[in-house]
């Protein structure tokens, strides 16, 4: 399967471990990732707030790049998925399309609306299928309880996305189970991580992150896993701040989706970039019999 690989800004920079893990898993499951050095940032939802038409045009350009190559887009970030899908949805409005087409034509770009946007979670669980993943598992994650944390923009608004239930999804839990781990159900799994207001009102964002982590913990999770590097920033990079809001330690390892898959498929922690996390993943690794690597 060949896909246009759209890593997004964070995976290429401070979330580099996500890119490392994605490439490792892709090789294992037979995904050919075709890179495009002309992809731009998706706007992360912020550009949409400042100038919606610009955001749609920017992402139409991204979608057009893949369309020209005859490929669908693979994302590894819930937010990128949401923003690219938003653009596809917005372009159905004739007024928006007219403005965007007009601007795109000035840069010699045309987009006819064919590009589909698929997050790695969807590709693994639907296109490759959890059964094939299960068959590739060499180190079942037995004994590890994992709370999935989807990230809002992967699921909602359902009118723009709609690949699974906006409030009651289960693909990630199905995948966790296929990897041999035990998925933990808790309310926070479809809630927000707080990232969009991290720089607007940090304490509230931290409090929101704390709520979801505590919820996962209260339901028995040893670790959380997320398909969104922005959620990862909020839950992992800023977990120390969340702890301040919670009033106590949280000690919750946060995996990127492909890191969890990689562990089950035989990758080492270094190959997956686990030492880069702010919150040590040692406790989770210990549960699956993996020796921790000094940071």
Q: How far is the CB of 10 from other proteins (least distance, A)?
A: 7
Q: Name the one range near other proteins by CB under 8 A: 10-18, 130-138, 250-258, 264-272.
A: 10-18
Q: What is the CA radius of gyration of the chain?
A: 19
Q: How far is the CB of 120 from other proteins (least distance, A)?
A: 20
Q: Is 80 in the site for other proteins (CB under 8 A)?
A: no
Options 29, 57, 124, 216; binder of other proteins; rule CB under 8 A: 57
- Using the minimum distance from each CB to other proteins, give the nearer residue, 29 or 208: 208
Number of residues binding to other proteins, judged by CB under 8 A:
65
Q: Is 46 in the site for other proteins (CB under 8 A)?
A: yes
Strands 73-75 and 117-119, sheet pairing = parallel
Q: Is 9 in the site for other proteins (CB under 8 A)?
A: yes
C-alpha 117/C-alpha 156 separation (Å) is 14
Alpha carbon of residue 107 to chain centroid: 30
The token duo for 67 is 């369309």
C-alpha 34/C-alpha 65 separation (Å) is 12
Q: How far is the CB of 138 from other proteins (least distance, A)?
A: 28
The token duo for 162 is 């709609």
Q: Is 43 in the site for other proteins (CB under 8 A)?
A: yes
Q: Is 68 in the site for other proteins (CB under 8 A)?
A: no
Q: Is 166 in the site for other proteins (CB under 8 A)?
A: yes
Tell me which residue has tokens 């959890």: 130
C-alpha 124/C-alpha 131 separation (Å) is 10
Q: Is 107 in the site for other proteins (CB under 8 A)?
A: yes
| Helices first, then strands: H and E counts in the chain | 15, 8
Q: Is 218 in the site for other proteins (CB under 8 A)?
A: no
Q: Is 208 in the site for other proteins (CB under 8 A)?
A: yes
159 Rama class: left (phi>0) / alpha (psi -120 to 50) / beta: alpha
Q: How far is the CB of 250 from other proteins (least distance, A)?
A: 16
Task: Provide the 3-class DSSP secondary structure of residue 146.
Answer: strand
Q: Name the one range near other proteins by CB under 8 A: 36-44, 130-138, 173-181, 247-255.
A: 36-44
Q: Is 249 in the site for other proteins (CB under 8 A)?
A: no
State the Cα torsion 284-288-294-295 to the nearest 10°: -40
State the Cα torsion 68-124-282-232 to the nearest 10°: 50
Binding residues for other proteins, rule: CB under 8 A, are: 9-10, 12-16, 37-41, 43-54, 57-58, 61, 99, 102-104, 106-109, 152, 156-158, 166-168, 187, 190-192, 194, 196-197, 199-201, 204, 207-208, 211, 237-238, 240-241, 275-278, 295
């Amino acid at each position: 399967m060949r896909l246009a690989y759209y890593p997004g800004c964070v995976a290429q920079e401070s979330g580099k471990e996500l890119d490392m893990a994605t490439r490792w898993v892709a090789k294992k499951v037979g995904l050919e990732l075709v890179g495009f050095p002309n992809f731009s940032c998706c706007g992360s939802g912020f550009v949409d707030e400042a100038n919606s038409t610009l955001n749609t045009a920017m992402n139409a350009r991204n979608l057009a790049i893949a369309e020209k190559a005859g490929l669908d887009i693979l994302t590894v970030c819930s937010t990128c998925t949401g923003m690219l899908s938003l653009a596809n949805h917005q372009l159905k409005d004739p007024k928006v399309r007219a403005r965007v087409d007009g601007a795109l034509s000035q840069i010699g770009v045309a987009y006819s609306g064919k590009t589909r946007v698929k997050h790695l979670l969807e590709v693994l669980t639907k296109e490759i299928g959890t059964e094939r993943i299960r068959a590739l598992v060499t180190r079942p994650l037995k004994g590890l309880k994992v709370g999935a944390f989807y990230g809002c923009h992967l699921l909602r608004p359902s009118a723009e996305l709609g690949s699974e239930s906006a409030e009651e999804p289960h693909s990630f839990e199905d995948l966790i189970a296929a990897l041999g781990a035990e998925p933990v159900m808790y309310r926070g799994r479809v809630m927000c991580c707080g990232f969009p207001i991290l720089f607007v009102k940090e304490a509230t964002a931290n409090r929101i992150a704390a709520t979801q982590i505590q919820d996962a913990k209260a339901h028995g999770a040893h670790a959380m896993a997320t398909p969104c590097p922005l959620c990862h920033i909020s839950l992992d990079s800023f977990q120390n701040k969340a702890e301040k809001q919670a009033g106590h330690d949280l000690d919750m390892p946060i995996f990127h989706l492909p890191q969890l898959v990689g562990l089950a498929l035989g990758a080492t922690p270094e190959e997956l970039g686990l030492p880069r996390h702010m919150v040590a993943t040692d406790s989770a690794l210990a549960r699956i019999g993996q020796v921790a690597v000094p940071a």
